[in-house]
Every structure is written in structure tokens, then in C-alpha cells.
Amino acid sequence: MVFMCVCFFLLGTLWDVPLRAVARQFYQKDYGNHVFNCDNAMREHFIAKSQLSSQPSPSAVSFLQSAEVALIDCHEYDKFRKRLISLGLTENDLAIMGLKAIEEKQTDLSNLVREHEIRY
């Protein structure tokens, strides 16, 4: 009886490890797309705000408005991220998935830096 209790306890505490690994693999591509879309939207928004503050013009206002609409990608990323967390993935799982997505799409360090750099 004690052996069965120990087995059920171990099974109950360890079952999420393979489940999380399968979920990471299954959702990797979608998560990577959300990461890149949001990252690009935030970068464009930052550039648009900087451009408007340094050189105010109607075209800069229009560029900022377009960049603000593109931030919907970040909302979609956040919803998808919370869905993955509700499936049992941890912050570390999501960080690994994000890094893997970056590594798969980048070929060298200069591209990696360019992808995460905020230009002033």
C-alpha cells in the first residue's frame, strides 16, 4: 500500500514534465511568430514616437498612429502567452521557447543584436 502511494505521488508530481515538453514542442512555431510580431511592433512604435518628438509633422503623426495599431500584435502575444501558462508552461519554458525562436531565425550575432536593439 505504501509503495502504491509513493508511486502515485511520484507520478502526480512528475507528470507535468513530459506534458510541458510536448506543449513546448507543439506551440514553438506559433509562440515564435507572436514574439517576433510583438517585438517588431514595439520597435516600430518606439521609432515612431522618437521621430514625432524630434521632427513633428503630419507624416510622423500618421506613422505613430499606424505603429499604435500594430501594437495589437503585443496583445495577441500576451493572450497566447497566458494561454500557454494556463496549460502548465512556466516562465522559464516560455523564455526557452523565445530564445529558440530567435536562434532559429538568426544566422549570426549581428542579426541577433539587430533584432533586439532599440535604435535612437
| pLDDT score recorded for residue 14 | 60
In a domain, 90, yes or no: yes
1 within a domain of the structure (yes/no): no
**103, burial (CB in 10 Å: exposed 0-12, middle 13-18, buried 19+):** exposed
Number of domains present in the structure of the chain: 1
Share of the chain above pLDDT 70, in %: 73
Q: pLDDT value at position 116?
A: 58
DSSP state at residue 117: P
pLDDT band at 52 (very low <50, low <70, confident <90, very high): confident
Q: Which of 3-7, 18-22, 30-34, 47-51 has the lowest mean pLDDT?
A: 3-7
Domain hosting 110: range is 33-116
In a domain, residue 21? The reply is no
68-117 residue pLDDT tens: 899 999 999 999 999 999 988 999 999 999 888 877 776 555 655 665 56
Question: How far is CA 17 from its chain centroid?
Answer: 21
